[in-house]
Structure 1
Amino acid sequence: MSDQASADAVQVGLGAEHAAVWTYGLVSAFLPKAQEAVVAEGANAHRARRDTTERWLRDAGQQPKPAAAAYLPPEGVQDAASSIAALVAVEADCCAAWRGVLERTDDNALRTTALTALTESAVRGTRWRRAAGLTPVSIALPGVPE
């Protein structure tokens, strides 16, 4: 990271990853066993992205912001449908956060990482949108407000 704008954007990305890890943990109690592996895969991917992001920040001389004690999903989570809606939302939030990094840095390595994070969240978001029966299933420009 070369400047404070990049660091601030990466902190937002870190916050989105913290929220994603928390949300995947929350919804695991409400989704059927058949989706257990997909939920674990998403949680592990966000956990790895979170840990890597914290390392980038430290390497750049920044103090990574800690996770909140809890996060508020857009709607209450009480069943499988509301769990999937929460996952759709958290993946969209990650897309927006990593798109923000792309918009605020010229560092090629950081841009590559942010694009990978955005793409991976967009793919997971598409899977959850399909599971929810939402249309369109995929978003043309992930991370851009609808």
Structure 2
Amino acid sequence: MSTLDAARAAQAALAAEHAAVYGYGVVGGRVAPARRAEATAAYEAHRARRDALERTVRDLGGKPVVADAAYVLPFPVPDAAAAVRLAAVLEDRVAGVYSDLVRAAEGPLRREAAGALREAAVRAVRWRGSGVAFPGLTELTEPAVAAGRTAGRSPGQ
């Protein structure tokens, strides 16, 4: 793989992390109190990954993509149950971009991406209550997104 491929994949991962941070702001505001600490931990993990990816993009010679002011959520989030579903979707989407970064990168960056993919997959299982055979393959976790049936920019895309 080329450095350009890795830089593009790192930018995509950074954009997904920006979106996940935004999305977890919604999750944290709607999730049941019993799961609020879990949402906070995920929020902090995504912030840390976002900050690390900003440095990575710079190290690869790029200018880090900035966060959007707001993101279109994939569905309304009026209650705690929807917040849990959103958290699982956010993790699935983040896993997808890290899967791309694993393919594009080598060495330490590849190891970091694999670790981030694993963490997102574990969080998705915790939120969803079940796993998927191949974390990071969007078409197996989100048929509507894979078929292009979402409008606007959504968290993690």
Q: TM-score, normalised by structure 1?
A: 0.91
Structure-to-structure mapping, 1:1-146, within 5 angstroms: 3-105=3-105, 107-130=106-129, 137-144=130-137, 145-146=139-140
Query: Which string of whole-angstrom CA distances, capped at 9 and with x for unpartnered residues, describes residues 6-51 of structure 1?
Result: 1001111011111111111112111121111101100000000000
Q: TM-score, normalised by structure 2?
A: 0.85
- Alignment RMSD: 1.2
| Cα deviation digits, residues 85-119 of structure 1 (max 9, x gap) | 111111000000000011112x2111100000000
Opposite residue 124 of structure 1, the aligned amino acid is R
- Identical-pair percentage: 40
Shift of 1:2: 5.3
CA distance in 1, matches of 2:72, 2:29: 16
Deviation of 1:80 after TM superposition, in Å, equals 0.7
Q: Distance in 1 between matches of 2:59 and 2:2?
A: 11
Number of matched pairs: 139
Q: What is the DSSP-based 3-state SS (H/G/I as helix, E as strand, rest coil) of the residue aligned with 1:28? A: helix
Report the counterpart of residue 146 of structure 2 in structure 1. Answer: none
1:134 aligns to what?
A: none
Q: Give every structure 1 segment of 4 or more consecutive aligned residues whose post-TM-superposition deviation is greater than 6 Å.
A: none
Distance 1:5 1:59 in 2: 14
Structure-2 residue corresponding to 1:133? none
Unaligned runs of 5+ in 1: 131-136
2:119 maps to amino acid: E
Task: Report how far residue 81 of structure 1 moved.
Answer: 1.1
Structure 2 CA distance for aligned equivalents of residues 59 and 104 of structure 1: 15
In 2, Cα distance between the equivalents of 1:52 and 1:68?
Answer: 18
